[in-house]
């Protein structure tokens, strides 16, 4: 997967290119993150990358020409490296709320160019002319688009075959099937007197699978019933959820 990032702080992306699952994906050649800094295209002595907003008001915007040049170079690099037209994504609270379905769609449309805003944002004409899709990671305001870009890179990279040790891990991730994850346990068998559910020590893999599915369904029903509204349960899932609800009511 090739991802271009337009950012004034490229060093921040060490967090995904040098550590953990995504860091290993980079070293295995399964993920490439190329950074393009608008400041590299500034021609003035002070290497200006911000500009004042028309109409006045607090704060600055990203300077149009340096931002657009960085986006265009990133887009050209994407097409040269992959032979495909890049999808240019702007991360902002005004975008469509990102969920696992959105991650899957964006991951499938690699190469991606992610534009990380700073200051108070970018000129609307750049959004109209250069941005294909605007996405948000949640209804809160951050100081820049770098962390949202890294969230998207991490979630999308996990879907690339070979990135996770066991591909089924991605399939079993919570949200991969639209449900919350089941509880997890590891050694020791008792923590402050709280024991591991016996079924997980039984070696009965069928029973373990059913317990995990029932726990995911029950946890989703309790904590995020909205996720169940759009989910069609199969016969087994319906039975397990009914069992959970009956036991919960007792
Ligand atoms: N929430 C969010 N989801 O995606 N991005 C978000 C954000 O809060 N971004 C802040 C940026 C937005 C552009 C101007 C500078 C601050």
Q: What is the mean pLDDT of residues 123-130?
A: 98
CA angle 89, 86, 104 (to 5 degrees): 65
Output the CA 143–ligand 1 centroid distance in Å: 7
- 71-86 burial, b for 16+ CB within 10 Å, e for fewer? bbbbbebbeeeeeeeb
CA distance 187 to 129: 55
99 an active-site residue? no
Give the per-residue pLDDT at 109.
Answer: 85
CA distance 39 to 7: 9
Residue in 94, 102, 148, 153 to alter for ligand 1 test, most ligand atoms within 8 A of Cβ: 148
CA distance 105 to 109: 6
Catalytic choice (173, 177, 181, 243): 173
Q: What is the pLDDT of residues 74-90, one digit of tens each?
A: 999 999 999 999 999 99
pTM for the full predicted model? 0.95
SS3 72: helix
% of the chain beyond a pLDDT of 70: 96
**Does 117 carry a binding-site annotation?**
yes
Whose tokens are 């904590």? That residue is: 223
DSSP assignment of 238-249 = HHHHHHHHHHHH
Q: What share of the chain is helix, strand, coil (3-state, %, to 5)?
A: 45, 15, 40
What ipTM was assigned to the predicted interfaces of this complex? Answer: 0.99
Catalytic choice (120, 171, 189, 236): 120
Q: Quick one: CA dihedral 98, 99, 102, 106, positive or negative?
A: positive
Whose tokens are 């990032």? That residue is: 5
CA distance 250 to 31: 49
Give the per-residue pLDDT at 110.
Answer: 76
Q: What is the mean pLDDT of residues 100-109?
A: 96
Contact status, residue 34 vs residue 77, Cβ threshold 8 Å:
yes
């Amino acid at each position: 997967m090739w991802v271009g990032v337009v950012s004034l702080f490229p060093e921040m992306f060490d967090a995904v290119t040098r550590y953990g699952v995504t860091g290993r994906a980079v070293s295995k050649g399964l993920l490439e993150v190329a950074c393009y800094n608008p400041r590299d295209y500034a021609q003035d002595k002070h290497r200006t990358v911000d500009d004042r907003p028309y109409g006045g008001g607090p704060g600055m915007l990203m300077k149009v020409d340096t931002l657009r040049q960085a986006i265009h170079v990133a887009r050209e690099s994407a097409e040269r490296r992959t032979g495909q037209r890049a999808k240019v994504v702007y991360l902002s609270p005004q975008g469509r709320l990102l969920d696992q379905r959105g991650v899957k769609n964006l991951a499938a449309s690699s190469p991606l160019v992610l534009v990380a805003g700073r200051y108070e944002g970018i000129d609307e004409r750049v959004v109209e002319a250069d941005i294909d899709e605007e996405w948000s990671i949640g209804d809160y305001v951050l100081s820049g688009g770098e962390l949202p870009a890294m969230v998207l890179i991490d979630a999308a990279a996990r879907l690339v075959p070979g990135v996770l040790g066991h591909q089924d891990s991605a399939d079993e991730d919570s949200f991969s099937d639209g449900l919350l994850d089941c509880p997890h346990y590891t050694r020791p068998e008792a923590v402050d007197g709280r024991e591991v559910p016996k079924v997980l020590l039984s070696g009965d893999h069928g029973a373990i699978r059913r317990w995990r599915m029932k726990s995911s369904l029950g946890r989703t029903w309790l904590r995020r019933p909205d996720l169940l509204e759009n989910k069609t349960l199969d016969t087994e899932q319906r039975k397990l959820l009914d069992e959970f609800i009956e036991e919960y009511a007792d």
